[in-house]
Chains A and B, each alone.
Chain A
Amino acid sequence: MIKSISIETKSGTKNETKNNRRIKAIEAITKTLFLVCALVSALTLFLIIFFIFSNGVPAILQVGFWDFVAGRTWAPTHGTTPQFGMLPMLYASAITTFFAFIFGTRIGKWCAIYLAFFCPKKIYKPLKTMVELLGGIPSVLYGFFGVAVILPLIRNNLGGTGNSLLAAVIILTMMILPTVINLSEAALRAVPEHFFEGALALGTTKTEAIFDIVTPSAKGGINGAYILGIGRAVGETMAVIMVAGNVSRMPNTIGDFFSTSTFLTPVRTLTAGIAMEMSYATGLHRDTLFGIGVVLFTIIVSLNLTLAIINRNQTNYAKES
């Protein structure tokens, strides 16, 4: 800093203009350099989109869009008539995500309410750290926990091999918890204090003020947390592969779906389909896996868009502050 001051005070010498020019050049170069960093980071997204779509879309068209999305048989390596129907995988992804969403968001929201309003100060820090650690556990360890604990539990109590839709739902519920808890807590904490106090002044109990006044006010932020939770569940790969059993099948009728065995049958999600077959797939089979990638990508991006729209339309105190 002292160096630059001395430049400014020495006036009128040739040195100064030379130095000034040098500084200006450095400024311009560094600014461009940082801009390039930002652009390169952003452009990687388009590189990803370009490569996945340029391989996936032609494959989808070759199979036929409806045959691909609504086809019920996935038999890519069948010698004479390979079939590429991804509906069973779409079904598996949707159904696991749906149930993980139902359980995970409820438990996650209540946890967030506890952390934000009920938790004694003394145990807040350790609890918060625990929730953050839960979010830091890699998915392969969740999968391992599933294999070591959840699968034997299901096998011994409910029958079957254990590899099942139920196991996937349990693991996914566990995995979306930290996302939902952290974001919902931030949303709840951002609700202005006077909402709570105003409710108390009107004669509600503390619990009523929290559940009926503050929590609904934080809806925007909590919905955002839910959507990120869905995104995490749809995109999860390793943990699901390890516990779901990876059979590309789905119930034939709605009646079959409501029979108890639905939850005990093995399933294969979109992500699992990609990861399991990529190592040996060739030709059209490989390209259809990119087609699944296209579908997955579209789902995730639409979720992000929904999130952006929610953030724009609903009061989100967390974003405003």
Chain B
Amino acid sequence: MSTRRKIKNAINYIKVYFAIGVSVSILISILLLIIINGLQHLSWDFVFSMDAPRGFSLMPMIVTTAIVVFLTLLISAPLGIGAAIYLNEYASTKSRLVKFVRVSIETLSGIPSIIYGLFGFLFYVIVLGWTWSIQAGIFTVSIMVLPIIIRSSEEALKAVPMSFRMGSYALGAGKFYTIRKVVLPAAMNGIIASIILSIGRLIGETAALLLTAGTLMDMPINLRSSAATLSVFMYTITVEQGDMERAYATAIILMSLVLGLNLMANFIARKIKKG
């Protein structure tokens, strides 16, 4: 083998090891930075205290985040799963309508969250006159997570073998009965994974909520009040207040929530793949 080929091979080796080294060290350095500094500044009072001054307890933000996640899923989970069922179980792949729906959903999934925020601000905050409020935030992000839920639910439905459905039809069951009693139970794990994934996305979402739900750090009174979620708080505390100690403590909470949910979704998805 010529020296040139040997050198080229060596360079390619170096490239791939360098690249994987960079990626792994990025993750590890983010994790270490946040864990080490976060634990230092974390305290029971900072997370759970109910009567701390504004911005010195995470409780209002945790409550807001929980409300946003719960109500958003209440809207988009049925809608998304329903759409996935239609696309995978009812629609013929050739129909124009299905193509139209698919292209629209693909496009939605590529739109950056700031555009959703812009739309939510214009439509809910101004046109409908809801002002900066939790409900404006919820309706905005529920559009944002739809493509995620639809896409992964569809994948879960696709993974159910055709023979399941055929068997059910052969026993005389109708279409809806088959979906309800055979297809959905078999696809349930995958659908749950898709929901968990979208919870992670919702907790981490900032730009869309910043423009629609506002940055107020108080405990929300009702759905019309403006309130910050954990990640919006994370932004304001870092940029506008520049308080790194509280930022680290918030970061560790936020990171463990999001990464925990991601790991869970991964775990379930892998279990399905193994079958």
Q: Which residues of A contact B (CB under 8 A)?
A: 1, 4-5, 7-8, 23, 26-27, 30-31, 33-48, 51-52, 55, 106-111, 113-115, 118-119, 127, 129-134, 136-145, 147-149, 174, 177, 181, 205, 207-208, 210-211, 228, 231-232, 234-238, 241-242, 271, 274-275, 278-279, 289-290, 293, 296-297, 300-301, 303-304
Do residues A278 and B22 form an inter-chain contact, with CB atoms below 8 A? no
Binary flags per residue of B2-40, CB closer than 8 Å to A gives 1, else 0: 000100110011011111101110110110011001000
> Could you tell me the distance in whole angstroms from the C-beta of B116 to the nearest C-beta in chain A?
7
A135-B256 Cα distance, complex, nearest whole Å = 14
Do residues A149 and B33 form an inter-chain contact, with CB atoms below 8 A? yes
Do residues A293 and B118 form an inter-chain contact, with CB atoms below 8 A? yes
A-binding segment of B43-51, B66-74, B175-183: B175-183
A110-B86 Cα distance, complex, nearest whole Å = 39
> Could you tell me the distance in whole angstroms from the C-beta of B158 to the nearest C-beta in chain A?
13
> Could you tell me the distance in whole angstroms from the C-beta of A215 to the nearest C-beta in chain B?
10
- The residue of chain A having its C-beta at the shortest distance from the C-beta of B182 within the complex is A1
Residues of B within 8 A of A274 (CB): 114, 117-118
Do residues B9 and A208 form an inter-chain contact, with CB atoms below 8 A? yes
A-B interface, 7 closest residue pairs, ranked by CB to CB distance from nearest: A235-B112, A138-B204, A37-B82, A110-B19, A136-B262, A42-B104, A34-B86
Q: Which residues of B contact A (CB under 8 A)?
A: 1, 5, 8-9, 12-13, 15-20, 22-24, 26-27, 29-30, 33-34, 37, 78-83, 85-87, 89-91, 100-101, 104-108, 110-119, 121-123, 127, 143, 146-147, 150, 168, 171-177, 179, 181, 200, 203-207, 210-211, 231, 234-235, 238-239, 244, 247-248, 251, 254-255, 258-259, 261-263, 266
Given A4-B177, A130-B24, check contact A139 B206 (CB 8 Å). yes
Do residues B90 and A34 form an inter-chain contact, with CB atoms below 8 A? yes
Do residues A237 and B168 form an inter-chain contact, with CB atoms below 8 A? no
> Could you tell me the distance in whole angstroms from the C-beta of A249 to the nearest C-beta in chain B?
20
Can you name 5 extra interface pairs (CB under 8 A) apart from A137-B30, A148-B248?
Answer: A41-B150, A138-B206, A235-B113, A275-B207, A293-B115
> Could you tell me the distance in whole angstroms from the C-beta of A161 to the nearest C-beta in chain B?
13
Do residues B83 and A37 form an inter-chain contact, with CB atoms below 8 A? yes
Do residues A141 and B254 form an inter-chain contact, with CB atoms below 8 A? yes
> Could you tell me the distance in whole angstroms from the C-beta of B255 to the nearest C-beta in chain A?
6
Residues of B within 8 A of A205 (CB): 1, 5, 9
Residue in A133, A208, A242, A290 whose CB lies within 8 Å of B118: A290
Do residues A238 and B235 form an inter-chain contact, with CB atoms below 8 A? yes
Do residues B115 and A48 form an inter-chain contact, with CB atoms below 8 A? yes
Do residues B171 and A1 form an inter-chain contact, with CB atoms below 8 A? yes
Residue in B1, B16, B107 whose CB lies within 8 Å of A118: B16
- The residue of chain A having its C-beta at the shortest distance from the C-beta of B109 within the complex is A304
Residues of A within 8 A of B262 (CB): 132-133, 136
- What are 8 sample pairs from A and B whose C-beta atoms fall under 8 A apart? A30-B175, A111-B16, A111-B23, A205-B1, A232-B112, A271-B112, A289-B118, A304-B107
Given A38-B87, A127-B20, check contact A134 B26 (CB 8 Å). yes
A26-B174 Cα distance, complex, nearest whole Å = 10
- The residue of chain B having its C-beta at the shortest distance from the C-beta of A299 within the complex is B112
Do residues A41 and B146 form an inter-chain contact, with CB atoms below 8 A? yes
Residue in A38, A138, A290 whose CB lies within 8 Å of B231: A138
Given A31-B175, A40-B79, A237-B207, check contact A140 B235 (CB 8 Å). yes
Residues of B within 8 A of A290 (CB): 118, 122
Residues of B within 8 A of A241 (CB): 239
Do residues B20 and A136 form an inter-chain contact, with CB atoms below 8 A? no
A275-B238 Cα distance, complex, nearest whole Å = 16
Residues of A within 8 A of B106 (CB): 304
Do residues B112 and A48 form an inter-chain contact, with CB atoms below 8 A? no
Given A42-B100, A242-B239, check contact A141 B34 (CB 8 Å). yes
> Could you tell me the distance in whole angstroms from the C-beta of A25 to the nearest C-beta in chain B?
11
Do residues B172 and A5 form an inter-chain contact, with CB atoms below 8 A? yes
- The residue of chain B having its C-beta at the shortest distance from the C-beta of A39 within the complex is B101
